Amino acid sequence: MPDYLDDLRFAHVLADAADAATMARFKALDLKVETKPDMTPVSEADKAAEELIRGQLGRARPRDAILGEEYGIQGTGPRRWVVDPIDGTKNYVRGVPVWATLISLMEAGDTGFEPVVGVVSAPALGRRWWAAKGHGAFTGRSLSSASRLHVSRVSKLTDASFAYSSLSGWEEQGRLDGFLDLTREVWRTRAYGDFWPYMLVAEGAVDICAEPELSLWDMAANAIVVTEAGGTFTGLDGRPGPHSGNAAASNGLLHDELLGYLNQRY
């Protein structure tokens, strides 16, 4: 099996470059923000970070395809880099430090493309998380200064911490009743949002999290960090990986119950 460590090291280089670009414009008074056709915001920093990553990939990995939130798909082949230049743009443009660049390498397999490398870099929080297939998940300031991640061993919902992003998406999908029932069952709920709940699941600080509507670039890097930390990452339909248009992540012990609540009246 390929070890993917060279790709992981390169993903860190890409994240370093993106961090420098995004932090340079974070809280800038003259930051330019536009509204995309789907009515979500995009800043000049989103575009600049993705252009930077695409440029470096084009030079160092010219045979690999690239899928990014801002500029779509480029290239074909069995290896595809998936990039969200700023996950949490609404936070970024308001000066909230909870945002990250998500970089994943996906490779074609028997069941389609699966993440084999993931880096989640949140420079305004001073945090970074990463994983490579078969090598575990880690957090730290660099590859040489890192701590291994492990999900929690909480096995009862009544002892579990549940993280989510917002209520509106659950209501729009007709899943709000099951969602609210779940919040009443667990020990604690917090709406951390975006990439952060998945990283907290990987760290063992949160036990379950879910979001009702997502794109592949929102999930690919998160998925491999969670699974390499020993957790489970699926769609709400139970399909493993980041392909369902939504996500449920857990320590594995609570996953069936998590899906049961979110699908109970759907």
Give per-residue pLDDT as tens, 195-211. 999 999 999 999 999 99
pLDDT band of residue 1 (cuts 50, 70, 90) is low
Is-contact 185 140, C-beta < 8 A?
no
Instruction: Report how far Cα 82 is from the mean position of its chain's Cα atoms.
Output: 11
Tell me: pLDDT of 160 over 60: yes
Tell me: pLDDT of 266 over 60: no
Q: How far apart are CA 65 and CA 74, in angstroms?
A: 6
Q: What per-residue confidence (pLDDT) applies to 265? A: 63
Q: How far apart are CA 136 and CA 113, in angstroms?
A: 19
Task: Report which of residues 43 and 97 the model is more confident about.
Answer: 97
What pTM was computed for the model?
Answer: 0.94
Q: How far apart are CA 108 and CA 121, in angstroms?
A: 25
Q: How far apart are CA 21 and CA 86, in angstroms?
A: 11
Q: How far apart are CA 5 and CA 143, in angstroms?
A: 10
Residue 41 is which amino acid?
P
- Give how far Cα 13 sits from Cα of 6, 19, 197, Å: 11, 10, 24
Average pLDDT for 133-143: 92
Average pLDDT for 159-170: 92
- By the 10 Å C-beta count (0-12 exposed, 13-18 middle, 19+ buried), 245 is classed as middle
The owner of tokens 């280089």 is 13
pLDDT band of residue 97 (cuts 50, 70, 90) is very high
Q: How far apart are CA 53 and CA 48, in angstroms?
A: 9
DSSP state of 240: B
- By the 10 Å C-beta count (0-12 exposed, 13-18 middle, 19+ buried), 167 is classed as middle
- Express each pLDDT in 20-50 by its tens digit: 999 988 887 778 877 766 667 777 888 889 9
Count other C-beta atoms under 10 Å from residue 7's C-beta: 20
Q: What per-residue confidence (pLDDT) applies to 39? A: 61
- Express each pLDDT in 217-231 by its tens digit: 999 999 999 999 999
